[in-house]
Amino acid sequence: MTKKRIHFIGGGQMAEAMIRACIANKSVAAEQFTVTDIHEARLQYLNETYGVITDSSQGKLLAAADLIVIAVRPQDNLAALGEAVKQSAQPAAAIVSIVAGVTIEKLAGFFGAERPIIRVIPNTLTDTGYGYSGVALNDHAAVDQVDDFLHGFGKVQVLEERLIDIFTGYGVCGPNYIYYFIESLADAGVLAGLPREQAWNVALENLVGSVAMLRQTGLHPRQLLDINNSPGGVGIHGLYELNNSDFAAGLQRSVLAAVKRTTELGAK
């Protein structure tokens, strides 16, 4: 369990998910988290639900923090937050930004070029222990400054910053594509005549089992497709229709659109 004091500026849904998972996994104790937010009701909720500290001034909490998590929207006033950090935080305190699209260069302009800055794109599967968060660091930061904290809500991939927007649109948005696929697959079972509960359970089991098969065998998906599809059989007829639906290209366009939007948000 890390002993670092972690201060969140912004207590929204993603911040809550990170805090909740870290506390549940015993990687960070509740009393090591502090949070400030513009909404008093939100702070009261976080304090009552998780036991995090929310009742001190921003300056005092910044002064005590080892990690300062910037958990606000890209369009919020980062310049003002930067001034507050420069005035109150210790020079060695690292900035951990989860602000989509805002580069390390921009963050350095707000929070100081000599300060450790770690740009994190957190995964949305925090409560499961699955999912990768993408991490990029400036020259003043080191992975071990945040390793225990980040692993409290999933796995970590350290990336060149030029790949972060791609990682966001592909990796972090990835559960969206999976959820939509599962919903559509279950609906197909219902359309074919299965009761909803049966169709749902079969869809989930097939998804989990297929992932397990890929990992256990080390085979490429195409190799498993070849094994499962006999000449002129049921499976290959189903795949033929799926190919005609433009499924693969539609999924790829979805990823590219998400990557593009991430870049647009950072440019504003």
HSE-up of 87 (CA within 13 Å, CB side)?
10
Please tell me whether 65 is known to bind a ligand.
no
Please tell me whether 73 is known to bind a ligand.
yes
Please tell me whether 52 is known to bind a ligand.
no
Please tell me whether 11 is known to bind a ligand.
yes
What is the C-alpha R_g of the chain?
22
Q: How far apart are CA 204 and CA 117, in angstroms?
A: 39
Phi/psi region, residue 128 (left: phi>0; alpha: psi -120 to 50; beta: rest), is alpha
Burial class (CB in 10 A: 0-12, 13-18, 19+), 32: buried
Tokens of 164: 């972060």
Strands 132-137 and 117-121: antiparallel
Please tell me whether 14 is known to bind a ligand.
yes
Query: 53: which DSSP letter?
Result: B
Please tell me whether 152 is known to bind a ligand.
no
Contact (CB, 8 A) for 27 and 136:
no
Q: How far apart are CA 64 and CA 150, in angstroms?
A: 20
Q: How far apart are CA 5 and CA 68, in angstroms?
A: 9
Helix, strand, or coil (residue 167): helix
Please tell me whether 115 is known to bind a ligand.
no
Please tell me whether 92 is known to bind a ligand.
no
Please tell me whether 9 is known to bind a ligand.
yes
Task: Please name the residues in contact with 122: beta carbons below 8 A apart, sequence gap of 6 or more.
Answer: 14, 17, 18, 98, 133, 153, 154, 172
Please tell me whether 13 is known to bind a ligand.
yes
> Sign of dihedral through CA atoms 186, 190, 192, 195?
positive
Q: How far apart are CA 154 and CA 149, in angstroms?
A: 10
Residue ranges for the known binding site for NADP(+) are 9-14, 71-74
Residue ranges for the known binding site are 9-14, 71-74
